[in-house]
Amino acid sequence: MIYLDNAATTRVDYRVNELIKPYFTDQYGNPSSVYRFVDNLKMDIDTARIQCANLINASPDSILFTSSGTESNNWVLKSIAEQNNYNCHIITSCIEHHSVLKTCEYLENKGVEVTYIPVNKNGIIAVTDIKNAIRPNTKIISIMMANNEIGSVQPIAEVGKLANENRILFHTDAVQAYGHTYIDVEDMHIDFLSASGHKINAPKGVGLLYARNPKLLTSFIHGGGQEEGLRAGTYNVPSIIGLGYASYYANQEFGERYTNVQILRNKMANKILEEIPNVKINGSLDNSLPNNLNICIKGVDSAALITLLSEQEMYVSSGSACNSGDEIPSHVLKAIGLSDEDANSSIRITLSHDNTEKEIEEFVKILKQFVKTLRFFQN
Ligand code: PLP
C-alpha cells in the first residue's frame, strides 16, 4: 500500500512501539499508587514531559497530558471563557479545525463574542486583521500554527508578539505543526499550545496542552488529582511514554525529516503539474508544512477518485479526515476562495518522512490514469 494521508494519522514509529510495549505487560501499575512497583512509572512520565517540552523549548512542568488535540483545544478555550463568566471576546480564524470552531460556536451560545479572521488565497491570516479585531474585553487569541487541509503555516511569532503587547493570552493549535515545523514557545510568545500524539508517530488517544502558567486553566475533567489536580483520569502510561519518545525522535531527526519530506513533496507537486493537465495547487507550497500538497483536479469528483485510488491501496483524503462522510465542501477550501465544484474536485496528499521516491512515482502514474478515466466518464 501507499499511504499518503499522514495529516489524518501516522503509523507508530517502530522504535516507539518497542519502547512502550513493556508498559502494557510488565510495568502495568497505576502511577498514582504509592508503592515501589510504580516508582519508575512516575519518573518515566516525567521523562516524557521533558522530551515533549524540549521539542518546543518549554519548561517540563508546563506540559499537561490530555487524551487528544481536541481535548486540549476545548480545555483552553472553555477555561478562559468560564473564568470570564462567558462575558468576553475571543479572536480566532475561519480555517481552524472543528475542535476550535465548534468550541467557539458552543461558547457563543453561552454569550461569548467571537471574531473569525479571514485568510488570503494562500490560507494565511493578516496580523493587522487581528490587531483591528482586538477589543477591551478580548481575553484570548487562538490561531492554528499549521492548517490540517492545505498546510498553510501562520505568522505565529507575530501574532504572539501582538497578543503579548496587548496583554491578551495566545493559544495555538499546533496539532499539525508539532514535530513537523520549528516551534519555540518563548520566541513565539505562546501561552498555550495543543498537540496530539497520533500526528507524530505516537499512539492515538494521547495529546498535550502546553500552558505557560497552568494556574490559568480551570479543571475540566474532575476526579482524581492527576496533572496537579487539573486533569483527572488514570494516566494513559504507554501512550504518554510513546508521545515522549516520538517527540524525542522528532527533535533529534527534525532537520533531516523536514528536508527529505519537502524535497519529496516538491518533486511530487512538479510531476503532477507536468503530467496532469488542469491541476491547481490549493494554497501555496511557500509558508506551508513540508509534507502537505492539496490540489484541485478540475472536472474530477474527488470522492470517486479517492475510491478508485483506495482500490489500488493508495490512500489520500478529501479535506480533513475528521469531516469525512459529510458532503459539505471543506470550509478551508471555501475560505481560500474555491467554488463548491473546485472544492469537491480537491484532494489532500500528506507525506511522511518514510515515504519513498518510488512510491511517489507509482502514485502519480496511477493518479494520472484515474484522472483521465474519470474526466472521460464525468464530462
Ligand atoms: N487540530 C488540528 C489542526 C487537527 O488536524 C486535528 C486532527 O486532525 C485536531 C486538532 C484534533 O486532534 P485529535 O485527533 O488528537 O483530537
For 5-23, what is each residue's pLDDT tens digit? 999 999 999 999 999 999 9
pLDDT at 173: 99
Mean pLDDT of 155-180: 98
Q: Is 70 in the pocket of ligand 1 (CB under 6 A)?
A: yes
Residue with cell string 507508530: 12
Mean pLDDT of 88-115: 98
Ligand 1 atom having least distance to the Cα of 144? 3
pLDDT at 217: 97
> Is a pLDDT exceeding 90 seen at residue 134?
yes
pLDDT at 264: 98
pTM, 2 dp:
0.97
For 248-269, what is each residue's pLDDT tens digit? 999 999 999 999 999 999 999 9
Is residue 88 annotated as part of the catalytic site, yes or no?
no
Whole-angstrom CA distances from 230 to 11, 43, 47 are: 30, 19, 20
Measure CA 49 to chain center.
19
pLDDT at 327: 64
Q: How far is the CA of 45 from the centre of ligand 1 (A)?
A: 23
* Percent of the chain's residues with pLDDT above 90: 96
pLDDT at 326: 55
Ligand 1 atom having least distance to the Cα of 68? 15
Residue with cell string 494521508: 5
Q: Is 5 in the pocket of ligand 1 (CB under 6 A)?
A: no
> Is a pLDDT exceeding 60 seen at residue 86?
yes
pLDDT at 128: 98
> Is a pLDDT exceeding 80 seen at residue 178?
yes
Q: How far is the CA of 127 from the centre of ligand 1 (A)?
A: 24
pLDDT at 322: 43
What gap in Å lies between CA 273 and CA 209, rounded to an integer?
39
Mean pLDDT of 72-97: 98
For 346-376, what is each residue's pLDDT tens digit? 999 999 999 999 999 999 999 999 999 999 9
Whole-angstrom CA distances from 311 to 10, 314, 327 are: 20, 7, 21
For 294-340, what is each residue's pLDDT tens digit? 999 999 999 999 999 999 999 999 854 444 555 689 999 999 999 99
Strand partners, 117: 93
Confirm if 363 and 271 have CB atoms less than 8 A apart.
no
pLDDT at 328: 84
Smallest CA-to-CA distance from 221 within 366, 94, 84, 65 is with 65
Q: Is 99 in the pocket of ligand 1 (CB under 6 A)?
A: yes
